[in-house]
Chain A
């Protein structure tokens, strides 16, 4: 038995990430084509939306009923209908094995087969080719997996969360400061971008007729996002200049005050709706490919930034600021630029968020948003782009998967995160990267 496990394990070590993504693409394609056909005989009403997490939770709820669902076993027992209760309990119990079977058939088997088969081919590809293959396969997998509106929405939020988390990681992880401004940055980005798009391309009660033909909107949307990000970075500069004179927790407090001020400011600006919120953002522009491209671009730029001279300067500042000064690192410049870059991408994420939802409200961007991003970052791990991405994906899937719990979700999620943090105080993947995010070591060509 042990030898068998070892053998299986040795089969699956050293498979490049491209192969896994290709496998996922194939699995998602099979699901799209034959998901209903397979789900039916397994006793599932529909294709599991999030890898069956919701089915499993629903089955638990059907049996145990925490006062969340109607028609659970306990409800029937109370009413004295034993036959019904047994029926519901059996149905609930069966949901778990059938979901697992579905996952095995549709995800586990195809992913592992395809990954195993394509791994040797991909390893032989040159770096550039395999990178572009990864991007194409990733986009294909995402597009294939996005079966319906719900899954696409989940994907939107996953991508936006990845941008937010990676950008916070620049400051909190690589630079070793403690910023709590994610919510504030998001708010500035979201509002500025929304003002530009609504003022420019939409007939709005406040902003009047569109200044530019709405047909241009989709093409100028990236410019609006960039302007939103730049304005966010400029406001970050206002915070950064006083706060980087000193070390320690000063930035935490200043950024906290910044978040409160921004929220309060937008609540008082009647032009953008004040506390009622700001709507009419066109939601068709922030489509899956657009958000995908922005996320990949952001992650790519930030991942490259941390290995530039400036980005390495940030890491040195974290480890020992005095030593950095001695080694002629301009610490103030490094800090301000890193902080502004982080703010820029948080702002872009805010702009995307506004155009995904089509409505923003100052209270969306309070301290809770910052706490969410912080939870994603510290669960995933500091100083690691891969860690941030994993953290964002896990947190989002957790949030969505636990949705059937209703208000109980907000008790279960904190408990999960607390246990997680106590078990792994440094996060899942900290101070290292995996897959293609790992810095390639360029070997000098062998001399003859």
Chain B
């Protein structure tokens, strides 16, 4: 592999790692706070992509119709904000319908309702919007920069940069704010939190809002890079991000980031060496080996009562 080739793969790996990391954060936050696997998260990502499609379409129509002319960057920012809001509502609804009533039930029952609500979202989408694939509008002009023989597009820089910045902001949010403190308290000792006058329901909703917003951003970025939407797009990427969250360490935001980028690198560099059909096989085998030696992931702690959020 030449050096330029290596850098080309490196940039792609960073980009894919950002997608995985953003989605993995949603899994890990829900796990850290509520101790349940949100198996519908991949489909929340899918919903985010579709909401992004409609918000962007509406904004472009408004702008092009001359009603309120907007610059492309403004459209992009408004799309991101609108999609985050819309997807947060979806995430809150999922929590409200599928998880909240089952908080005292066996956790596996909640896993089943999660899986089923994901299935419902996929089929509902298929039924409402039809099976055809939709194309995401390009919101910003793609420009290509040449750095020493490696071509980097501005979208890739934006994706990686904004993702890292957002993850840092989220980290601060969880570390430095009262809400974040409440979330960490819930991860640390679930029954005591309501005794301190903190509402479990609103913290749970807030967790889903944050996780779903990250999934929404992942959706928009994913569609900017690969502008094809279909109802089942969330399944594969969702499960992979789930595995990434586990490898990073359940309940740890830094861990989810790390796991996401690790998975991105494995997935991009394995096909560079081996046939691409082996990608999943090698990726999961590596992850199985990692988990054999580090059962709690890289940043997780042995006892689930002590989550690092």
A and B co-occur in one complex: yes
- Residue positions of A touching B, CB distance < 8 A: 172, 178, 242-243, 245-246, 248-250, 252-254, 256-258, 260-261, 264-265, 267-268, 367, 371, 374-375, 378-379, 382, 407-408, 410-411, 413-415, 417-418, 421-422, 425-427
Q: Are A408 and B243 in contact (CB under 8 A)?
A: no
Q: Total number of A-B contacts with CB less than 8 angstroms?
A: 119
A248-B304, A264-B284, A417-B112 known, 4 other contacts, Cβ within 8 Å: A264-B281, A374-B108, A411-B127, A422-B113
Chain B residues with CB below 8 A from A256, complex form: 239, 242-243
Check if B37 sits within 8 Å of A268, measured CB to CB: no
Let me know if A425 and B102 touch, CB within 8 A.
Answer: yes
**B120 with A261: CB separation less than 8 A:** no
Docked-complex contact A265 and B281, CB < 8 angstroms: yes
B143 touches A (CB below 8 Å): no
Do B116 and A407 touch across chains, with their CB atoms under 8 A apart? no
- Known A178-B108, A246-B295: A268·B119 in contact at CB below 8 Å: no
The reply to whether A257 and B287 form a contact with Cβ atoms under 8 Å apart is yes
* Complex CA distance for A408 and B119, rounded to whole angstroms: 12
Q: Is B112 touching A260 in the complex (CB atoms < 8 A)?
A: no
Of residues A265, A378, A413, A426, which shows the largest number of chain B Cβ atoms within 10 Å of its Cβ? A378
B89 within 8 A of A: no
CB of A378 within 8 A of CB of B243, answer: no
Contact, CB under 8 Å: A253 / B291: yes
Instruction: Give 7 closest A-B pairs by Cβ, nearest first.
Output: A425-B105, A414-B116, A414-B120, A410-B123, A264-B281, A264-B280, A242-B292
CA distance A421 to B285 in the complex (A): 34
A367 to B119, CA, bound (A): 12
Minimal Cβ-Cβ distance residue in A for B247: A253
Which B residues touch A178, using CB under 8 A?
A: 107-108, 111
Interface check B169, CB cutoff 8 A = no
Taken together as a complex, chains A and B put the C-alpha atoms of A427 and B122 apart, in Å, by 25
B106 to A382, Cβ gap below 8 A? yes
Contact residues in B for A414 (Cβ distance below 8 Å): 116-117, 119-120, 123
Most chain B beta carbons < 10 A, residue from A260, A371, A410, A415: A260
Known: A246-B302, A422-B101. Contact between A378 and B109, CB under 8 A?
Answer: yes
Binding site secondary structure of chain B: helix
Interchain CB contact under 8 A, A378 and B108:
yes
User: In the complex, what distance in Å separates the CA atom of A254 from the CA atom of B97?
Assistant: 28
Interchain CB contact under 8 A, A426 and B105 = yes
Residues of B within 8 A of A265 (CB): 281
The residue in chain B whose Cβ has the minimal distance to the Cβ of A425 is: B105
Asked if B288 lies at the interface with its beta carbon under 8 angstroms from chain A, I say yes
B288 and A257: CB pair below 8 A?
A: yes
Q: Choose from B119, B124, B250, B277 the contact partner of A249 (Cβ within 8 Å).
A: B250
Closest residue on chain B to residue A259 by CB atoms:
B284
Within 8 A of A (CB), among B208-254: 235, 239, 242-243, 246, 250
Q: Is the CB of A367 within 8 A of B106?
A: no
How many chain B residues touch A (CB < 8 A): the figure is: 44
Task: Check if B116 sits within 8 Å of A245, measured CB to CB.
Answer: no
In the complex, per-residue mask of B266-309: 1 if CB is within 8 Å of any chain A CB, else 0? 00000000000110110011011001100110000010100000
CA distance A172 to B288 in the complex (A): 21
CB distance from A388 to the nearest CB of B (A): 14
Give B contacts to A, CB under 8 Å: 37, 97-98, 101-102, 104-109, 111-113, 115-117, 119-120, 122-124, 126-127, 235, 239, 242-243, 246, 250, 277-278, 280-281, 284-285, 287-288, 291-292, 295-296, 302, 304
- Say whether chain A's binding surface is mostly helix, strand, loop, or mixed: helix
List, in ascending order, chain B residues with CB within 8 A of A422's CB.
101-102, 113
User: A407-B127, A418-B98 in contact; A375/B304 too (CB < 8 A)?
Assistant: no
Cβ of B37: which chain A residues have Cβ within 8 Å of it? 249, 252
Establish whether residues A261 and B284, one from each chain, have CB atoms under 8 Å apart when the complex forms: yes
**CB-nearest residue of chain B to A410:** B123
User: Is B111's CB under 8 angstroms from A374's CB?
Assistant: yes
Chain B residues with CB below 8 A from A375, complex form: 112, 115-116
CB within 8 A of B117: which of A242, A257, A418, A426?
A418
Complex contact A421–B287 (CB within 8 A): no
CA distance A242 to B291 in the complex (A): 9
Partner of A246, one of B113, B122, B296: B296
A296–B57 CA distance with the chains assembled, in angstroms: 58
Query: Whole-angstrom distance between the alpha carbons of A375 and B109 in the complex?
Result: 9
* Contact across chains for B113 and A371 when beta carbons are under 8 A apart: no
**For B115, B243, B287, which residue has the most chain A Cβ atoms within 10 angstroms?**
B115
Task: Report yes or no: A418 in contact with B113, Cβ–Cβ below 8 A.
Answer: yes
Q: How far is the CA of A226 from the CA of B104 in the complex (A)?
A: 40
Distance to closest chain B CB from A260 (angstroms) = 5
**Contact among B115, B120, B284 with A371 in the assembled complex (CB-CB below 8 Å):** B115
B304's nearest neighbour on chain A, judged by CB, is: A248
**A417-B116 in contact (CB<8A):** yes
Residue of B nearest to A239 (CB): B288
Can you identify 17 A-B contacts, CB atoms within 8 angstroms? Answer: A172-B108, A242-B291, A242-B295, A246-B296, A249-B304, A258-B288, A261-B285, A378-B112, A379-B112, A411-B123, A418-B113, A418-B117, A418-B120, A421-B109, A421-B113, A425-B102, A425-B104
Q: Which residues of B have CB within 8 Å of A243?
A: 295
Q: What residues of B have a CB within 8 angstroms of the CB of A264 in the complex?
A: 278, 280-281, 284
The answer to whether B295 touches A250 (Cβ under 8 A) is yes
In the assembled complex, the Cα of A374 lies from the Cα of B116 at a distance in Å of 11
Given A261-B284, A421-B112: A268 and B127 interface contact (C-beta under 8 Å): no
Query: A253 with B246: in contact, given A246-B296, A267-B277 (CB under 8 Å)?
Result: yes
- Indicate which residue in B106, B277, B281, B304 contacts A425 across the interface (CB closer than 8 Å): B106
Distance in Å: Cβ of A370 to nearest Cβ of chain B? 9
Whether the Cβ atoms of A374 and B304 lie closer than 8 Å is no
B246 touches A260 (CB 8 A): no
- Chain B nearest CB, measured from A198 CB (Å): 23
Q: Collect the chain A residues with CB atoms within 8 Å of residue B296's CB.
A: 246, 250
| Contact among A252, A407, A411 for B120, CB-based, below 8 A | A411
Check A268–B278 contact: CB distance below 8 A: yes
Distance in Å: Cβ of A336 to nearest Cβ of chain B: 15
Q: State in angstroms the CA–CA spacing of A268 and B295 once bound together.
A: 28
Which residues of B lie under 8 Å from residue A378 when comparing CB positions? 106, 108-109, 112
By CB atoms of chain B within 10 A, which of A242, A258, A367, A418 has the most?
A418
Q: B97 — which chain A residues lie within 8 A by C-beta?
A: 418
* CB proximity of A179 to chain B, nearest CB, Å: 10
B-chain residues with CB within 8 Å of residue A172 when the two chains form the complex: 108
Task: Say yes or no: B292 contacts A257, CB within 8 Å.
Answer: no
